A and B are shown apart, each in its own frame.
Chain A
Amino acid sequence: MTLSDAEKGSFHRMREVSELRVQYQCEYRLYLKQKLGDVHSKASSIGLNLHNHVSKKDATQHVEKKDNLILLLIVIMTLIAGYLWIFG
């Protein structure tokens, strides 16, 4: 994801991971991007929208967990089984 200068803060002169990714794909593509300006295809715009959608979902989905209840059940089941095995 591309960061704005404001988001980079005092690090606005640093390279972006997205630039390095493009350069890794094709060094000349990054050169053209810097020389001719960024070009967005329809597919990349859709991809960006999907990213934003996923991020919003991610932020809300991991709050409620049922794992604690499952963990408690496993502990109780194990203790009962252990008790019955030894003393039963």
Chain B
Amino acid sequence: MVNSLIMMIVFFIGVLLLLSLQPKTTMMTLGMKMRRAKSAQESLAEFIKTKKNRWGIKQYYIFSEENVRSLGHRFVGRFDSAILHWEDSPVLDAIIEYKFPVKHIPKIARPEDVFQSGLYALALLESGVSCSSAKLVTIYCPQEIAMSCLDRKSTRDCWRCGSASVKVTRFKPKSVLKKLQRLDEVWYNGRVPNPTQEPHNCRVCPYSNGRCNYSLI
């Protein structure tokens, strides 16, 4: 009786584990996707236009340093990494950006970093990639620690390095578009560019040291 109960529990745990490893279930965490993803052997453009067979559908792929462009919003860029898989169409799971601050790791993801990742996701959305469950991942690691971590001959990913901080945000296309429209006014409607009101933006600005009249530091 006890043995039967144990076997039943093991069976259900096994079923749950197998379900959690399926891309179509929502049980798989982002960390699991990042660990399971394998390097894509094709370019991102080829991946997007080539429908995968049954086996390919169950696989997550990681793309590194791929160019993306938005014809609708007239911008181009290159993301650090992105994880995608195929369902009925290509699906973006995450855009991953690495940031190496000199010292301090922010408590929450910096708005400009989230905006940057959002622009990459927006470009992919325009290319026909489903982004309904996409996450924007920003990995912060202080420069000194990142250097020592990467110099080690370990096979650990940068994001698993002890002092790295992983910030995850949901991709919200409307929010990115709203911010982009505000910036477009300067590019296309002749609005005068406004200086920032945030001192911390001046601290990292290379022009704040005597070259900018509006510096707050």
- Give the number of residues in A that approach B within 8 Å (Cβ atoms): 55
- A59 to chain B minimum Cβ distance, whole angstroms, is 5
Within 8 A of A (CB), among B183-217: 183, 186-187, 193-196, 201-202, 204-207, 211-212, 214
Whether A15 contacts B74 in the complex (CB less than 8 A), given A27-B194, A71-B21, comes out as yes
List, in ascending order, chain A residues with CB within 8 A of B133's CB.
none
Report A-chain residues with C-beta under 8 Å of the C-beta of B179: 24
Please tell me which one of the listed residues A20, A47, A51, A54 contacts residue B183 in the complex, with CB atoms under 8 A apart: A20
Contacts of A54 in B (CB 8 A): 80, 98, 146, 150, 158
Is there an interface contact between B115 and A21, defined as CB atoms closer than 8 Å?
A: yes
The answer to whether B186 touches A29, judged by C-beta atoms less than 8 angstroms apart, is no
Task: Scan B53-68; emit 1 where CB is below 8 A from any A CB, else 0.
Answer: 0000000001011010
**Is B212 in contact with A20, judged by CB distance below 8 angstroms?**
no
- Which residues from B are CB-within-8-Å of A30? 193
CB pair B116–A17 under 8 Å, yes or no, is yes
For this complex, 15 residue pairs linking A to B, each with C-beta atoms less than 8 Å apart, are A16-B75, A17-B76, A21-B116, A28-B194, A28-B195, A29-B201, A33-B207, A44-B206, A47-B143, A51-B100, A54-B98, A71-B21, A74-B21, A78-B15, A81-B7
The 6 A-B pairs at the shortest CB distance, nearest first, are namely: A78-B14, A17-B77, A27-B193, A85-B7, A26-B196, A81-B10
